[in-house]
Amino acid sequence: MPIMSRLYDVIVIGSGVGGYTTAIRLSQSGLRVLLIERKLIGGECANYGCVPTKALYSIAKSVRQLRVARFSISWSGNPLEFAREAAAKAREGIAYLLDRYGVEIVYGEARVARNAVVKVLTKNGRVEHYEYRYLVIATGTEPRALPNIPIDEITVLSNRGFLNLDELPSSVIIVGGGAIGVELASILANIGVKVRIVEVAKDILPGMDIDIVRTVKRFLREQEVEIFTSSTIEEILKTGNQVEVKLSSGPRIQTEKILIAIGRRPQTRELGLEEINVRVDSQGYIVVDSYQRTSNPKVFAVGDVTGPPLLAHKALIEGRIAAHTILGRKVVGYLNREIVPVAYFTIPEIGSIGLSEDAARKRGYKVRCVKIPVTVSSRAFIEGCEGGFIKIVMDETSGSVLGLHMVGPNASELASVGLEIIERKLELETVASRPYVHLTAFEILRELAETVLGEPVNIYIPKR
């Protein structure tokens, strides 16, 4: 039999959202594509992030909804098992698509070398060599650890280890009050886990609009989540199945598990990027231009490995840009990282896009903010979100929308509509005239637009 060539039009390293979608787009156009994956097809999102956490969220939201309706409930089952099943389904679907589109897959540790070669250390210990015309790096990020508290994935867990537990713990301390920590805290608290958040900063959700922070803290406390800010873990003492944790702020707390959620770091250190003159920034993220090209014209990078925001939908668009550039197609709509929608699946949800009020002021805008309660829609009462809000941040001089922020029912979907408002400079008069479906988040947005225009219907504002 003839020996198959090891030369590929494109090699993609990493099969997360950025990697697998780029590989499929290129293969659809007739290129020979090799995808190299170190562990599981689908990467962080499908296996440890977006998919399994949303599976847990769906359970937590259902339980909370029954409580809001004053149902007496009891339930049994393993939410983590359901989360793993959801991840497996996503993984199987991605693998099916890659196969049907003719993308070749190799499993192993990739390291780049000179002369357009990628070396792969396979699971059987062999080192295989593959050549490329173009290379796409989509290796993503990995959990960041604390220097004094090593992650053993038994008692001290990363998000990956937590999702692989046999069953939910009775209690957990989440170290880190950012996106991952707060989202998991809300989800777990609603399915019966005693949750405490330990955050080194003065507040949770750094960088988010202050009204989001205040509102989410109030909901978390209603869900019996304890929050310790300006605190670190000084000491851990294991006693049987429990752990005693001493905080720098004074308290000693008993817990079953500790979950480290202090952020992510790029998986670039072992790739050998210096061999092919690919530049990284001070944190190790790969530096790219608006076409996703690196400092090496034959090498592209997409997804979390290129830096914040670390979001799957950003990775997908970056992959589309890279694929179109490699194919010589016109790239329509460059990615503006400042207006990528953000959604946290807390209960209730957080949706945010654009500048916070504080960020807008720091940039010198003459800021006008309008905030209304989500109770303008009966959906807020139905879902127990009566303390939520929607807020618009505007430049008073030009009237342009700078940011849109919401805590409330289906706020995650609202953030995407905010993208159209900010990017396309949609007039609020237009938003106010849209027949958005009744009792949806979009209807709350319309009410906000009418309030800005001085024409609110479902909220009373006294005449001056």
Residues with active-site annotation: 438
3-class DSSP assignment, residue 337: helix
Q: 225-234 b/e with 16+ CB inside 10 Å = b?
A: bbbbeebbbe
- How many distinct helices (H) and strands (E) make up the chain? 13, 22
33-37 and 7-13 as β-strands: parallel, antiparallel, unpaired?
parallel
Amino acid at 161: G
* Phi and psi based region of residue 270 (left: phi greater than 0; alpha: psi -120 to 50; beta: remaining): alpha
Burial of 121 (0-12, 13-18, 19+ CB in 10 A): middle
Residues contacting 299, CB < 8 A, separation 6+:
134, 135, 136, 137, 276, 278, 293
Give me 247's structure tokens.
């905080």
Alpha-carbon span 156 to 134, nearest angstrom: 40
**Any bridge partners for residue 371, and if so which?**
391
Reading the block at residue 159, the tokens are 């998000």
Confirm if 278 and 296 have CB atoms less than 8 A apart. yes
d(CA 391, CA 214): 13
Alpha carbon 225 to its chain centroid, in Å, reads 22
